[in-house]
Amino acid sequence: MKLYSLLFLLLCSASLSAQNDSVMIRTIYNEALSKGHAYEDLRSLCKDIGARISGSAEAEMAVHWGEQKMKEYGFDKVYLQEIQVPHWERGTTEAGWYKGEDGQLHKVHLLALGGSIGTGGVLSGDLIQFNSLNELKEADPNLVKGKIVFINQKMDEQQIQTFRAYGGCYPTRGNGAIEASRLGATGVIIRSLGLPINHHPHTGSMHYNDSVDRIPAAAISTKDAEELSQFLLKGNAEFLLEMDCRQYPDVTSYNVIGEQTGSDSPDEIITFGGHLDSWDTGEGAHDDGAGIAHCMEALRILKELNYKPKHTLRLVLFMNEENGNMGGKSYASIVKGKGEKQIAALESDRGGFAPRGFSCDGTEEHLAMLKSFKTKFTNYDLHIFDKGYGGVDISPLKGEYPNIPLFGFVPDSQRYFDFHHAPSDVFENVNQRELELGAAAISSFLYLLDQNL
């Protein structure tokens, strides 16, 4: 009889726990959708401050903005973590155009890639086109030497998960200048990494290698890339490019941190957040203002509902994800050096679109825990609870804490690369309800994570 009584008590306890979870999640969603702050916080970040590239005055403003917001929300602890970040500036607006044998000029929409050198005046040269980075690598140096390389590699529109299409093209942007210079090119332009055909060029980080000369690198819009490619089918073209970008010495900046202290295990920390910096075009609304608004709102809701976490919940607004990830790298090194016990991390850096679920970079046990959350979200249209990537900012924690589970917030990805690193990444292109649903999903996930670790 005692065994049956024990089983009955366990079943009752499990049932009560499930009911409590259901009520808590419903309450979180109600708060986010009826009394939410996420959309106004995002508006303020985008409109009152704007684009926030590392090392800029706007990035410094954003640090103070984040610190003040956290203090207004009354988190248990709010502080700044000093770091060193790169400082690159675009300078005056870039200009690019091409002309054929008839002398007609065709202006293009373009942006210097982040980290590129300038042209030192107007750079001109005959164009040579390649349809992929691999095609460029295999080219005859005699055909490339002294020319400007045009890499017209398209994102694969047949990929349902658009981040896979982006991953397939990223090396074009990251390593295009290295490979073009290795063959003697004087400059490189790439097709923007975006799926829509429009006039919005997309910037992003690129790399140099000390073994080859540094050459200017820019991205032209997908519409211009289509037209230029067609033009080159008819004959040769000369490309002219002027960029005034330059690199400056590293500067001091900060990760902005807010905490709600754990009641049972305050020394065990769940880190979560997004990146406060953005590229210098648009307003950094989806990338990653939305992630900042998501995570700040998630913690605000839990505090507003008087939830007492078991573990310390630490919100981090990381600086410098876009062109160095010094916020993430420095954070991981600092907390490890302090001997902190980091037990899990979560990141939101995939835009402010409708939530679809969460991914896990962890052990089979961590993945099983994630999958167990799926039934909790049945009524909230979340269905992705699977193995996957955590995020750039939190990824360095894996090097310091090999067994830590990293979780990534997964929103719908179909429109993300309409705006990624482009002038169109502005507040007006974020839907209020989708943003609020994302904040509610993350707040609910943090609650479940805290309860189950």
Reported as a single tens digit per residue, the pLDDT across 241-283 is: 999 999 999 999 999 999 999 999 999 999 999 999 999 999 9
The residues with which 303 forms a beta bridge, in sequence order, are none
Evaluate if residue 4 carries a pLDDT over 80. no
Q: Is the pLDDT of residue 15 over 60?
A: no
3-state SS class at 58? helix
Structure confidence at residue 16 (pLDDT): 55
Share of the chain above pLDDT 70, in %: 96
Note whether residue 14 is domain-resident.
no
Cα gap 140→127, rounded to integer Å: 15
Q: pLDDT-based confidence at 102, cuts 50/70/90?
A: confident
Q: With the C-alpha atoms ordered 388, 133, 286, 331, is the resulting torsion angle positive or negative?
A: positive
| Assigned domain for 2 exists | no
pLDDT for 9 equals 45
Give the confidence band of 31 by pLDDT, cuts at 50, 70, 90: very high
Tell me: do 332 and 348 sit in the same domain: yes
Does residue 143 share a domain with residue 281?
A: no
339 and 351 housed in the same domain: yes
Domain boundary among 225, 246, 267: 246
pLDDT at 425 over 60: yes
Q: Is residue 353 domain-shared with residue 427, that is, in the same domain? A: yes
Indicate the residue among 214, 246, 278 that finishes a domain: 246
Same domain? For 129 and 148 the reply is: yes
The verdict on residue 255 lying in a domain is yes
Q: Check residue 10 and give its pLDDT.
A: 45
CATH code, 421: 3.40.630.10
Q: Identify whether residues 377 and 417 lie together within a single domain.
A: yes
pLDDT beyond 70 at 148: yes
Of the candidates 176, 211, 246, which is a domain's last residue?
A: 246
Average pLDDT over residues 30-58: 98
Answer yes or no: is 16 within a domain: no
Residue (of 297, 295, 190, 172) closest to 239 by Cα position? 190
From the list 379, 356, 322, the residue with the least C-alpha distance to 442 is 356
Inside any domain, residue 4:
no
Q: Residue 397 — left, alpha, or beta (φ > 0 → left; ψ -120 to 50 → alpha)?
A: alpha
Orientation of helix 57-73 relative to helix 290-304, angle to 10°? 10
Number of structural domains the chain divides into: 2
Distance CA 41, CA 47 (A): 10
217 and 79 in a common domain: no
Tell the burial category of 61 from Cβ atoms under 10 Å away from its Cβ (0-12, 13-18, 19+): middle
Cα-trace Rg, the chain: 24
3-state percent helix, strand, coil for the chain, nearest multiple of 5: 40, 25, 35
Whether residue 11 has pLDDT greater than 60: no
According to the model, what pLDDT value does residue 74 have?
A: 98
Examine the domain organization and report whether 259 and 358 are in the same domain.
yes
Average pLDDT value for residue range 386-393: 97
Q: Is the pLDDT of residue 5 over 70?
A: no
Q: pLDDT, tens digit, for every residue of 155-188?
A: 999 999 999 999 999 999 999 999 999 999 999 9
**Does residue 107 belong to any structural domain of this protein?**
yes
Mean pLDDT value across the chain: 95
What is the mean pLDDT of the segment spanning 128-141? 97
Same domain, 287 and 411: yes
Are 327 and 365 contained in the same domain?
yes
CATH number where 166 lies = 3.50.30.30
19: pLDDT confidence band, cut at 50, 70 and 90? confident
Question: How does residue 330 score in pLDDT terms, banded at 50, 70 and 90?
Answer: very high
Distance, in Å, from the CA atom of 397 to the CA atom of 273, rounded to the nearest integer, reads 13
Q: What's the domain range around 130?
A: 93-246
Closest-CA residue to 51 (of 283, 369, 391): 283
Q: What does 161-191 look like in DSSP terms, one character per residue?
A: SHHHHHHHHHHHHHHHHHHHHHTT-SEEEEE
Better-predicted residue by pLDDT, 101 or 286? 286
**224 pLDDT higher than 60:** yes
| 308 three-class SS | coil
* Residues 136 and 204 reside in one and the same domain: yes
Question: Does residue 439 fall inside a structural domain?
Answer: yes
pTM of the model: 0.94
* pLDDT (mean) for 284-311: 98
Is 436 strand, coil or helix?
Answer: helix
- Asked if the model's pLDDT at residue 7 lies above 80, the reply is no
pLDDT of 355 higher than 90: yes
Is residue 10 assigned to a domain?
no
Q: Residue range 412-434: average pLDDT?
A: 97
pLDDT tens-digit series, residues 106-123: 999 999 999 999 999 999
389 falls in which pLDDT band (50, 70, 90)? very high
Tell me: do 287 and 386 sit in the same domain. Answer: yes
Give yes or no for residue 299 having a pLDDT over 50: yes
pLDDT for position 8: 47
